[in-house]
Amino acid sequence: MTMTYRERFHETMRFGHPDRVPYWEMGFWGQTIERWEDEGMPPDQHHIHLFGFDRRETVPINHGIIPGFREEIVEENERFVIARRGDGVLSKQDMCYKTASIISPKHFREFMVPRYQRITALMRKHGVQVILVDSDGHVDELIPLWLEGGLSGVYPFEVAAGEDVVAVRKQYPRLHIWGGIDKRVLAQDKRAIEAELYAKVPFMLERGGYIPGIDHAVPHDVSYENWLYYREVLHRICERG
């Protein structure tokens, strides 16, 4: 029986038996879309329909005070933005570098875990069981702390930072995982794409709680032909049963 997008997502996150896993991706660079249109991608079709993605709905949430202060950019570069609102300073960036966490586990447990616990307790009080955190970089030392804080999963598991979703699944059998497919492989050849997918996806699907996907937005060095082949092989693996 064919499931709805929502039924499929919940059954996957329950480590159950969906008709197939959700088809999600984090997105594409603007230059990637421009290249693909030059290479024959129809410019007038939504990606959900063109690539067979499952629909995701988001709810915008204002995390600041109301009414808010006027924002002033203090410093900005390719790694972070520091913005001042009122008399405070807000730094926006991912939690981890290529090899380790930006914040020490000791300070994370002291300052962040109690705040996570307050937020996740409120979510679960209202029936939300799937709570994911997005962080690039090498996240291994923060995974147990995110779980302690009440989160249920992590994405996108950046391979260039040493992440391996197969190893993570072996260590955390009930962690929700999205991503973990090396974006760099898509710029290589079809044999490399197949090798990457078959090395990870069948194992992960068998154990459940996993949504396959590229480990970040798809960069512009990936050809449209390779992208379509990646989707073809992924669908073949996910729908073989």
pLDDT of residue 65: 67
pLDDT of residue 92: 38
User: How many whole angstroms separate alpha carbon 42 and alpha carbon 228?
Assistant: 13
Q: Which residue has the higher pLDDT, 89 or 138?
A: 138
Kindly state whether residues 13 and 28 are assigned to the same domain: yes
pLDDT band at 80 (very low <50, low <70, confident <90, very high): low
Kindly state whether residues 43 and 69 are assigned to the same domain: no
Kindly state whether residues 33 and 77 are assigned to the same domain: no
Q: How many CA atoms lie within 13 A of 219 on its CB side?
A: 10
Determine the structural domain holding residue 71 and report its residue range. 64-93
pLDDT of residue 156: 94
Does some domain include residue 193? yes
pLDDT of residue 104: 93
Does some domain include residue 129? no
pLDDT of residue 79: 67
Kindly state whether residues 160 and 234 are assigned to the same domain: yes
Q: What is the DSSP letter of 103?
A: S
Kindly state whether residues 70 and 48 are assigned to the same domain: no
User: How many whole angstroms separate alpha carbon 17 and alpha carbon 205?
Assistant: 10
> What would the pLDDT profile of 192-239 be if each residue is shown by its tens digit?
999 999 999 999 999 999 999 999 999 999 999 999 999 999 999 999
Kindly state whether residues 85 and 9 are assigned to the same domain: no
Our count of domains for the chain comes to 2
Q: What angle do CA 162, 164, 169 make, to 5 degrees?
A: 145
pLDDT of residue 203: 98
Instruction: Kindly state the average pLDDT of the residues 34-47.
Output: 94
Kindly state whether residues 210 and 170 are assigned to the same domain: yes
Q: Quick one: what percent of the chain has pLDDT higher than 70?
A: 90
Kindly state whether residues 201 and 233 are assigned to the same domain: yes
The answer on pLDDT for 128 being more than 80 is yes
Given a contact cutoff of 8 angstroms between Cβ atoms, the answer to whether 32 and 218 are in contact is: yes
Helix (H, G, I), strand (E, B) or coil at 191: helix
Kindly state whether residues 222 and 167 are assigned to the same domain: yes
- Tokens 């995110």, residue located: 146
Kindly state whether residues 36 and 80 are assigned to the same domain: no
User: How many whole angstroms separate alpha carbon 199 and alpha carbon 196?
Assistant: 5
From the CB of residue 136, how many other CB atoms can be counted at a distance below 10 Å? 20
Kindly state whether residues 43 and 156 are assigned to the same domain: yes
> What would the pLDDT profile of 81-120 be if each residue is shown by its tens digit?
766 555 433 333 478 888 889 899 999 999 999 999 998 9
- Tokens 């290249």, residue located: 35
The answer on pLDDT for 51 being more than 50 is yes
Does some domain include residue 18? yes
pLDDT band at 78 (very low <50, low <70, confident <90, very high): confident
Instruction: Kindly state the average pLDDT of the residues 159-169.
Output: 97
pTM over 0.85, yes/no? yes
